[in-house]
Amino acid sequence: MSSPFSRPGSIRHIEVLRPGGPDEMHLTEGPVPALGPDDVRIHVEAAGINHADLLQRAGKYAVPSTASPILGLEVAGYVSAAGERAALVWNIGEEVCALVDGGGYATETVAPSMQCLPIPEGFSMVQAAALPEALFTVWYNVFQRCRLSAGETLLVHGGTSGIGVIAIQMARAIGAKVFATAGSAEKCGVCVRLGAEVAIDYHETDFAAVALERSGGRGVDVILDMVGGEYVERNFRALAMEGRLVNISYMAGSRVTLDLRPIMQKRLTVTGSLMRRLPPQEKAVIAQELMLRIWPLLERGLILPVIDSTFPLSRAADAHRRMEEPHIGKVVLTN
């Protein structure tokens, strides 16, 4: 493979000149990222774009002090170097997808070896790059924290987002029922095709009322919410007794005024997380469980990412503009 570098010992990556809009993103050169004993260096073939990247670009997302300041939280590619202990797990040239602590918008990045997984059989690099953030997030929040099980009902807000399409399929694959919200009839149709039993256009209908009606007044067992704001109290209405609400973002605002009575009356559990700040050892456990429980489903074609569009790394600004428009599934950068 020809070198992607314009000079030896350097990489190309996207730099954000100052907090702001997509025009602040530019392709530049920098040093090859340092490799720790438990890290692998990955030659990046594709990198998924996430909402957190847009917030970081705009200066609205605090990057952990130990993380790369370069945008990008998930990649697919091949191992180009391995630290002393990582070399016991991964060989040079192996194809992997990985959850990274920043640095994905680049030609080379570094990932903790335990946050890497083999590319599922039959998956392209673009498809594989769309997996890590969604799989880690859904498994940790919906299955580990909220304990969704077969026969229960999951309500997914943003059913056609990158995370939403994976959540619908994962829940269906383990035998749960799925309700989903989306912002148009077209998007609701996509949710149904992915496996949602009920798809609710939130512009037209009160999702809480529909959830109660379609569950015979019982409500749903788990809600995966990335909206926050005024959705919170409506989520409480939609939940069944012993229901669990998990927030992974707050696109409609993080501050709300709450009536605590539904939490007490229904014995609800309210939780949330930020995947990027999760300790590495917990991410390693998630990766192990994904390999055991979800990788066979991926390779059987029961879970597939939906790719909205791809852009070369040099057009990362256009990719962010696409993310800010109505879209379905993942936007992915390629090298």
Give the tens place of pLDDT for each residue, 76-122: 999 999 999 999 999 999 999 999 999 999 999 999 999 999 999 99
* CA–CA dist 169, 221 (Å, integer): 17
Q: Which CATH number is 10-131+305-334's, of 3.40.50.2000, 3.90.180.10, 1.50.40.10, 3.30.70.240?
A: 3.90.180.10
* CA–CA dist 244, 126 (Å, integer): 33
* CA–CA dist 282, 293 (Å, integer): 16
Where exactly are the structural domains of the chain?
Answer: 10-131+305-334, 135-275
pLDDT of residue 5: 38
* CA–CA dist 240, 237 (Å, integer): 8
Retrieve residue 289's tokens: 């469980």
* CA–CA dist 76, 145 (Å, integer): 27
Nearest-5° angle of CA 3, CA 4, CA 8?
65
Retrieve residue 179's tokens: 């309700």
* CA–CA dist 109, 80 (Å, integer): 10
pLDDT < 50 positions in the chain? 1-6
Bridge partners of residue 39, in order along the sequence: 112
pLDDT of residue 8: 58
Burial of 221 (0-12, 13-18, 19+ CB in 10 A): buried
* CA–CA dist 327, 335 (Å, integer): 22
Retrieve residue 65's tokens: 């002090």
Burial of 118 (0-12, 13-18, 19+ CB in 10 A): middle
Residues 56-60: contacts with CB under 8 Å, at least 24 apart: 56/16, 57/16, 57/19, 57/20, 57/21, 57/22, 57/24, 57/25, 57/320, 58/19, 58/20, 58/21, 59/19, 59/20, 60/19
* CA–CA dist 238, 163 (Å, integer): 21
Retrieve residue 48's tokens: 């998924």
Number of CB atoms found within 10 A of residue 39's CB: 24
pLDDT digits 0-9 by tens, 176-206: 999 999 999 999 999 999 999 999 999 999 9
Report domain 135-275's class. Answer: alpha beta
Give the DSSP letter of residue 172. H
pLDDT of residue 1: 32
Retrieve residue 165's tokens: 């399409």
H-run or E-run covering 234: helix 231-238
Number of CB atoms found within 10 A of residue 321's CB: 15
